Amino acid sequence: MLVTLSFSKVSKEKICEFQAGVDALMKESQNHTFEEKNFDTNLHVEADPKHYDFVIVGAGAAGSVIANRLSAKHYKVLLLEAGGPETPYTQIPKLAHLLHNTDYNWGYLTTPQKNTCRGMIDNICAIAAGKALGGSTAINDMYCTRGNREDYNQWAAMGNHGWSYDDLLPYFKKLEDAFVKPFDPVYRHRGGPFHIEHPRYWTEITNGSLSAGKELGFDNIDFNAKNQLGMGRTQLSTKRGKRHSTAQAYLVPARKRSNLVIKPFSHVTKLLIDSESKEATGVEFFAKGKLYAAKAQKEVILSAGAISTAQILKLSGIGPREELDKFDIPVVAELNVGRRFIDHVAFIGLSLFYKNTTLGKEDETDEIIEYLQKGKGPLSVPGSETVAYFKTDASNHRKRYPDIELFFYSEKPSPTANSFRFKPEILESFKSLANKKILQIGVMLVHPQSIGTVLLKDKDPFHHPLVDPNSLSDPDDEDFRTLLAGIKRGLSFAGTDVFKKMNLVVNDYKIAGCEDHEWGSDDYWKCAIKLLTISLHHVMGTARMGPKSDKDAIVDNKLRVYGVQKLRVADASVLPVTISGHTMIPSIMIGEKASDLILQKWKAKEVPQD
C-alpha cells in the first residue's frame, strides 16, 4: 500500500497527531542501529505461482519508472523492493535527515578512510541508500539537477551510442513537471510525472547569496537548462511542499493495473541464470520468512542501486573471477563489477554566522500549522536554498566545465541523531556555533578522480558488501587541489558587500584536530578536509556502461549485461563518468531511456489504461 500526505483543515487534534508522528520518527532515528541478518541457506525455495514477462529488482529512481512504463503496455510485471511504503511523515521534506537512521535506509558504511571521514567514528562515513518504495527518492534531500551537457557527450564519445546530451534531452523533459523560473521550453517541460519546484519557503539566504554571487560574477540561471555555470535557486522533487518520490510519481498512478504486481519487503538474494544458455530466467527473493523464485519470460531488470546491484550481480556469478572464486561462487560472466565505484564527496566545514545575532527558543506550532494548511514554511525545505556551479583554476578541462558545486543552507552541520557519525570531539567543536544564526556553505567535488570498490564481504545476501570509496586518493592530488580551490571560492562570498551588509562573518573557530595549523592556511584546510569531508550518497559506476572494448564495461549501450542474455542493469551503476550534479534525475532519466529500449526490443502495443 502506498500512503500519501494530503493537506487539510487544521484542528488541535490534527496538530497533536502530526506532532506525535514526528516524535515517533525522531525517536526511531535516535535509537536505531543497523543490524545484518544471517541468511538461512537451507530454506526451501517456493515457486511464485504467477507468470511474469519482466521482473524488476528495486523500486527506486529507475525501477519505479520502468515498472510504470512496461505495465502501461500488455506486459505482466513483477516489481520487488526490499523496503516498505512511505508514510505521511517520511514525505515531510524537513525530516529527511531523520530517515537516514531508520529502516528506510540500507545503512551502508564505508571501510575506514585515510583522506576523508576522519572526523567520524572509526574514520568511517555513512552512505545512505533508500530502502523503500521510491528507493533513495524516498529519503534523500530532493535536489533536482541534470548535470552538464558535457557529461553525456563524454558518454557518447566513449562509444555509448544514443547517450549524448541531445539524445537524452527528450527523456529529461519527458520525466518532469517543472515549475521553475526562469522557464525555457526548449529545455524544460510541464506535464510529466515527476514534479519539480523551487522551495516554497526561503530565508534571506536565497536573495542574499544570489546577490553576493552576482557581485562575484555568477549569473543567475536555471542550472538544468542551457547553461549550468552560474547560480540559481534550489529545485526540489516536491509537490506543493510534500516530497514527491518516484513511488508517488510513477507507482501510485500504476498500482491499480492488474498486470503490475508490487511486492515490498522482498529482498532479492540472487538472479536465476541458466548455466547452459547463460540466460537470466528470474530471481530468488526472501519475503515473510520464506524464499521464493519468480520467473521472467522476457527479461530481468536490475535497478537496485550502485551498491546493491553490484552485490547481487556478484552473488549471481557475475563479477571478477578472483573475487568469486574466493567465495566459491560459480562464474557465469567474468566482468569487473564493483571496480569503478565513484562517490561525490563534500566538505561541510565552511560556515558563517550573523554577527550580534542569537537564536531564541523556537515555537514550532506555527510552522506545523502553516505546513498542514498550505504545504509551506520551514518544514517544506530539506536544506539548501541556492546552488552554484563553477570551474576552478585547478581544473584541467579544456571546456567551460564545472568541477565544484556550492550549496548554501542554514542548517547546523550536526543533524539530529548524528547521522554523519561525528566523533564526540567534532561535535564539541560545533558548540562554537551554539545559539548562533548560521549560513553554511557546502563544497561538493563534482568530478572526483579517485576510484573506489564495492567488494563482497561473504556470500550472505543479508551482509553488506565492503564499500571503499577511496576518496581524495588520486595519485596526482587533483581532488585535494580542486576541493581546496572550491573552499577558497566559497570563502570569497564572505568578502562581498552583500554579505557584509547582512552582518555575516566567517566562523574561524578551529575544528578539533587542526589546532596546530593557522586558521585559513592551506595546511589548515587540508587538515579540515580530511576531517569534515563526507559522502553525499551519489554512488555510481559499479556496473559501468561501455563498448565491449572497454575492459571495465559491464553493460552495453542498451544496458544489457555482457555475457548474460535477458538481463539489464538500469540505475546509477551504469554511469560511465561522474555527473556534474546530483544523481537522482539522471537515474530517473535512465529509467525512462531503459523503458524505451526494452519496449523497442519487444515491440509492445498500447493497451487501454486501467
Active-site residues, by number, are 538, 582
For cell 541523531, the residue is 417
Q: Within 10 A of 186 (CB to CB), how many other CB atoms are there?
A: 9
Between the CA of residue 423 and those of 28, 128, 375, 419, what are the distances in Å? Answer: 21, 18, 36, 11
Candidates 242, 233, 49, 240; CA nearest to 134 is 242
Between the CA of residue 573 and those of 190, 376, 518, 544, what are the distances in Å? Answer: 28, 35, 41, 6
- Beta bridge pairs of residue 487: none
Grid cell listed for 560 = 544489457
> Hey, what amino acid is at 424?
P
Residues whose CB is less than 8 angstroms from the CB of residue 196 and which lie 6 or more positions away in sequence, other chains included: 144, 176, 177, 178, 179, 180, 235, 236, 237
Handedness of CA 497, 181, 591, 56 (dihedral sign): positive
In 295-364, alpha helices (H): 306-315, 321-326
Please return the burial class of 116, using the count of CB atoms within 10 Å of its CB with bins 0-12, 13-18 and 19+. buried
Candidates 303, 306, 280, 278; CA nearest to 544 is 306
CA dihedral 101, 268, 301, 468 (to 10 degrees): 50
Strands of 383-502 (E only): list them. Answer: 386-390, 404-409, 436-445, 453-455, 466-468
Please calculate the CA angle 198-199-201 and round it to the nearest 5 degrees. 140
Q: Within 10 A of 191 (CB to CB), how many other CB atoms are there?
A: 9
Grid cell listed for 335 = 566482468
For cell 565492503, the residue is 466
Candidates 348, 347, 346, 354; CA nearest to 494 is 354
CA distance 583 to 585: 6
Grid cell listed for 530 = 580530511
Candidates 585, 396, 579, 574; CA nearest to 474 is 396
- Beta bridge pairs of residue 438: 353
**Is residue 338 within 8 Å of 455, Cβ to Cβ?**
yes
268 is in an annotated binding site: yes
DSSP-derived 3-state class of residue 197: strand
- Please, how many CA atoms are within 13 Å of residue 85, restricted to the half-sphere of its CB? 13
DSSP state of 379: G
Q: Which residues are annotated as a binding site?
A: 268
Q: Which residues are annotated as a binding site for FAD?
A: 268
